[in-house]
Structure 1
Amino acid sequence: MGKPRGKHIFGTAKVGEKGQIVIPKEARTLFGVQPGDTLLILGDEQTGIIVTKPEVIEDAAMKIFEEMERKPQ
């Protein structure tokens, strides 16, 4: 049984003394993360931490706004 398409396990990252982690190279390459990029950190006490580019959330918010405009009040 293979992993679901588009899903990845990149390994582990150790948290340093200053709270820093190193994002695995394969993940940085796949998602276009470059030195100096700003990442958004989200957390859910039940499911954990999400690290994403802010644009991902902006794109999702824009889709919600577009859907709201289509639906009559």
Structure 2
Amino acid sequence: MSQHTSDPDDPTTAPPLAGPEGRMFYGAVTVGERGQVVIPAQARRDHGISSGDKLLALGSPEGIALMSADRLMELLGDATPLAEHVRKAAGA
């Protein structure tokens, strides 16, 4: 994780909080009228997300997560039925 200057009392600059199994809490986001959200800057830096990058939206009964197509393909491997759908969605 990259280091940054922060004020722990300011929720807009406080460092992310560590959770179980390396998961991080970066803060809350608001869904706009068109369904858009802004990923917190520290989360983008920590995960190498840049403007124009394509992310995949994953869902489970517990919630929604975003992941790069490359990372999901690493986790899935090429031999799964989901892999072809991921490649198509990512435009690969």
Aligned residues: 63
Tell me the residue number matched to 1:69. none
Task: Measure, in 2, the Cα distance between the counterparts of 1:3 and 1:48.
Answer: 16
**Sequence identity, in percent?**
35
Tell me the residue number matched to 1:40. 56
Tell me the residue number matched to 2:27. 11
Task: Measure, in 1, the Cα distance between the counterparts of 2:19 and 2:76.
Answer: 29
Q: Which runs of 4+ in 1 moved over 4 A?
A: none
Encode CA deviations 1:17-56: one digit per residue, 9 max, x unaligned.
Answer: 0100000000000000000000000111x21101111111
Gaps of 5+ in 1: 66-73
Which residue of 27, 30, 36 maps to 2:46? 30
TM-score normalised by structure 1 residue count: 0.74
Change in CA separation of 1:3 and 1:49 when aligned onto 2, cut-off 3 Å: closer
Gaps of 5+ in 2: 1-17, 81-92
RMSD (CA atoms): 2.0
Task: Please identify the structure whose Cα radius of gyration is greater.
Answer: 1
TM-score normalised by structure 2 residue count: 0.60
